[in-house]
Amino acid sequence: MSIFTKIIKGEIPSYKVAENEHFYAFLDINPNAKGHTLVVPKKEVNKLFDLDEELYNGLMSFSRKIALAMEKVIPCERIGMSVIGLEVPHVHVHLIPLQKMEDIQFIKKVTLEPSDFEAVAKAIAENI
């Protein structure tokens, strides 16, 4: 079972942003920027392009809703999207508030207090 499946099942805590039947969105624990969100299909599939077309399109559609909400509440130039998966072999879309190119490069991380995570997760959730 992947660490993200454990998060979806509630066995590991997360700062939840949104959920529906097929997808779960939560804050990345080691964010590139405040509000950095991960969107995962509940079905445990390793690689993005191995998702069937319906689930792939559903993931993009769900991610778009989250990104539009993020853009409303987080000051940034735009929301960037990246799919990597070299660390966790369970498909996840990174949605990252961008100010500059390095924010999407997974080089510099920000340190947030639990209260910051809680506040930003709530703000995004309320604007979906």
Q: Catalytic residue positions?
A: 92
Residue 26 binds to ligand 5GP (criterion: CB under 6 A): yes
49 lies in the binding site for ligand 5GP (CB under 6 A): no
Piece of the chain touching ligand 5GP by CB under 6 A; list 41-49, 51-59, 82-90, 110-118: 82-90
CA torsion sign, 48 to 49 to 50 to 54? positive
103 binds ligand 5GP (CB under 6 A): no
**Can you tell me the distance from the alpha carbon of 101 to that of 53, in angstroms, rounded to the nearest whole number?**
30
CB of 127 to ligand 5GP, least distance (A): 20
Of the candidate spans 58-66, 87-95, 97-105, 115-123, the one that interacts with ligand 5GP by CB under 6 A turns out to be 87-95
What is the widest separation between alpha-carbon atoms in the chain? 38
Instruction: Output helix, strand, coil percentages for the chain, rounded to the nearest 5.
Output: 35, 20, 45
Among positions 47, 72, 78, 84, the unique one binding ligand 5GP when judged by CB under 6 A:
84
31 touches 14 (CB < 8 A): no
